[in-house]
Structure 1
Amino acid sequence: MELRAAREAAEMSLSRMAQRTHFAKSYLSMVETGKRPVPDDVVTAYEQVLGVPLSEGPCDPVRLAHEWLVSDSPVAVHTRSGRRVGGSLASALEARVVELRHLDDVVSSNELLPAITKELAEAQGLLRTASYSDAVGRRLFTLVGELSQLAGWVASDAGQYADAQRFYISGVRAADEARNRVLGAQLLSSLSYQMANIGDPNGAALLARTAVRGAEGATPVVRALFLERVAWASAKSKDPDGTWRALDAVDEAFERRGGDEPEWVYWLNRDEIDVMAARCMIELDRPRDAEPLLSSALANYPPDHAREVTLYLTWLAESHARAGDLDAARDVIERARRYADAMPSARTENRLAAVAGML
């Protein structure tokens, strides 16, 4: 994908391209010369201006999600020969959950949720009807808890909040059967995040703190994740002291990382932590402090993770709007809309509407 070559072949100057695409000339120069990553929105803008395709179509994640719906799951395959199941089925399901979890990065919630709920229903049915050893049973209940958390997360992203809460609560019961307190805390912490976002920040803060206290044996990155949700609920509750304490504890926990972590925290890194800190700053009326954190994180973010890029761009736009720079906010929100078109989400729609209302 040669942006510069395509532009020069069309006999268009970099200055003119910057005017037509509304990106800064200096930024486009760095993208063209490889000094910055090549985001999808820049490629799309070049294609629209030049009228030529510049990228090869990636593997269609929606098609992949549909294949999950029609293909046989490990449960169906392993139980055709009898109702006694063993470690091989648990291993197959563990791999399956990991793949579904990573699909959530690139597949819209409306497309992915049916695949997850199908998998969850089959796993729950297996627990009710099959026979297995205690060790295998614990693994299967853990998998049901993890699938329930994923189903809750994706349902919440789709705006199906009551269903999400039901998934989270049923997952807590499965985690309890598996004697996995950390997973149970993850489910409660995830529910607290939804509560903070849809209107009960005080209840969310209490639930998030309860999850932290109950997560005995949590690894450093898991503890950092739970504390992030305490910070967000505290910020939504307009509790600055509680927010800064929680964010300090996030940094302290994350700095102790290094050992084995559950796969479900694969996504939590320094950039994600900075994004959450920035969001809390905006919520507590410190937008200028938030802008550099968001800009830095977005520069490193994979452009194919369109939902998260959209969300983080909306926070960047809000930081500009609250700081009084409405032109910058409008430019950023237009970038966010282009990403949102690639991966629809109730969360992104709500955020785009909220920031547009400020402009």
Structure 2
Amino acid sequence: MNELGGRLRAAREAAKVSLSKMAAKTHYSKTYLWQLENNQRVVRPEHVTAYSRALSVAVDALYGPPLDPLRLAHEWLVSDTPVAVHRKAGRRVGASLVHRLESRVIELRHLDDTVGGGDLSPLVQRELSDVAEVVNDGSYTELVGRRLRVVVGELAQLAGWVASDAGAYAQAQHAYLDGVSAAREAGDGALVGQLFSSLAYQLANVGDPADAQLLARSAVTGARRASPVVRTLLLERLAWASARARDREATRRALDEVDVAFERRTDDVPEPERVYWMSRDEIDVMAGRCLIELGDPVAAAPLLTAAIARYDEAHAREVALYRTWLAESYARAGELDAARAALAEAQGGSADVNSARLVRRMGEVELLILHR
């Protein structure tokens, strides 16, 4: 994705079109276009489309490698959803459509690893609206209906997550609560718990931490039968909400329970795909973040450093977010040069990520370092 601006510039220069002429063709200013071409701004699907039309160049040629995640998101946005294809065929809703929708959720979820919420949110919202319409208006068996409602719940969880990443907090809350209704109708208590815990995570970050702690605790309590890794996630969210509420004892207790739950995972107990990303490194990152909130930044730094070193650099947003926490741990420990270096790495490695959450977080840490 770092090369996308350069490909736009190369296409324009190959067509012998100046920035001034390009501005007239696309209605973007010369300065804006220069920033896009030099990766000073995030290149989004609408920018690629504008260049494609102005230069009469195929979108594929501008995106480059076929596995570019932003290109994939753009292709999904301009293609029919599985539900739209099904409507044209006019068939009764059956297991084949549900299977395709279940696979689609997994693909979208993994796309979130590499595409920021600002770019992914419209796509997920469209998918969610389509599937919800099928649930409301379609004809299907009881089993198919239950699976469809789980798909709605999982899409709602993802829609809330990417909307929150994009800074659309009210939209995210609405999606989470709609997902709770669908998951309850499907009888999936673990999914209900994950939806509530996702909302609690948002509240802990941009709302009232006390409310977040109560909601996160309710999610854990209400999902007692959840699998070990799902329970690990719910407890992590409780630990974070408790840390944000400055409840030291509850945070320590939740972190201890996280370790116990994660160690109980076994091949004999299937885990839902939606927690595929949970790992020992993720647990260490959350522990480090909680330690910073509780005033122990020195103990947090080694946990964060080790986890970041093992993380996939293709997941630019997460790596950058974790580096901001490392920067904060250094800043609060008085190591300001190290803090600036960690923050610079976060900024340099995430220039193309369209994430309001990341921008807000980097701004917070930058202010912290400035005032130390």
Q: TM-score, normalised by structure 2?
A: 0.80
What secondary structure sits across from 2:350 in the alignment? helix
Q: Which residue of the partner structure matches residue 76 of structure 1?
A: 84
Residues 133-142 or 77-86, more deviating: 77-86
Shift, 1:347, TM fit = 1.2
Q: Which residue of the partner structure matches residue 328 of structure 1?
A: 338
CA distance in 2, matches of 1:234, 1:199: 13
Matches for 1:31-110 after TM superposition, within 5 Å: 59-110=67-118
1:220 to 217, 222, 228: 228
Matches for 1:198-277 after TM superposition, within 5 Å: 198-258=206-266, 259-277=269-287
Matches for 1:1-359 after TM superposition, within 5 Å: 59-258=67-266, 259-359=269-369
What secondary structure sits across from 2:237 in the alignment? helix
Q: 1:73-124, CA deviations, whole angstroms, 9 ceiling, x for partnerless residues? A: 2112223232511101110000000000000000111111111011111101
What secondary structure sits across from 1:330 in the alignment? helix
Question: What runs of 5+ residues in structure 1 fail to find an aligned partner?
Answer: 1-43, 45-55
Are 1:79 and 1:85, in contact at CA under 8 Å, matched by a contact in 2?
A: no
Residue identity matched to 1:306: A
CA distance in 2, matches of 1:356, 1:110: 22
Residue identity matched to 1:238: R
What secondary structure sits across from 2:89 in the alignment? coil
Are 2:81 and 2:127, in contact at CA under 8 Å, matched by a contact in 1?
A: yes
Q: Which residue of the partner structure matches residue 35 of structure 1?
A: none
Residue identity matched to 1:272: E
Are 2:232 and 2:258, in contact at CA under 8 Å, matched by a contact in 1?
A: yes
Structure 1 residue ranges (4+ consecutive) displaced by more than 4 angstroms after TM superposition: none
Shift, 1:340, TM fit = 2.3
Are 2:115 and 2:354, in contact at CA under 8 Å, matched by a contact in 1?
A: no
What secondary structure sits across from 2:197 in the alignment? helix
Q: TM-score, normalised by structure 1?
A: 0.83
Are 1:83 and 1:131, in contact at CA under 8 Å, matched by a contact in 2?
A: no
Shift, 1:57, TM fit = 6.2
Question: What runs of 5+ residues in structure 2 fail to find an aligned partner?
Answer: 1-38, 40-63
Q: 1:32-83, CA deviations, whole angstroms, 9 ceiling, x for partnerless residues? A: xxxxxxxxxxxx9xxxxxxxxxxx9683211110111111221122232325
Shift, 1:350, TM fit = 1.1
Among the aligned pairs, what percent are the same residue? 58
CA distance in 2, matches of 1:254, 1:216: 14
CA distance in 2, matches of 1:153, 1:340: 19
CA distance in 1, matches of 2:147, 2:207: 35
Q: 1:114-138, CA deviations, whole angstroms, 9 ceiling, x for partnerless residues? A: 1101111110111121100000000
Residue identity matched to 1:314: T
| Cα distance change on mapping 1:289 and 1:58 into 2, 3 Å | farther
Q: 1:194-231, CA deviations, whole angstroms, 9 ceiling, x for partnerless residues? A: 00000310000000000001014200000000000110
CA distance in 1, matches of 2:257, 2:214: 17
Residues 348-357 or 144-153, more deviating: 348-357
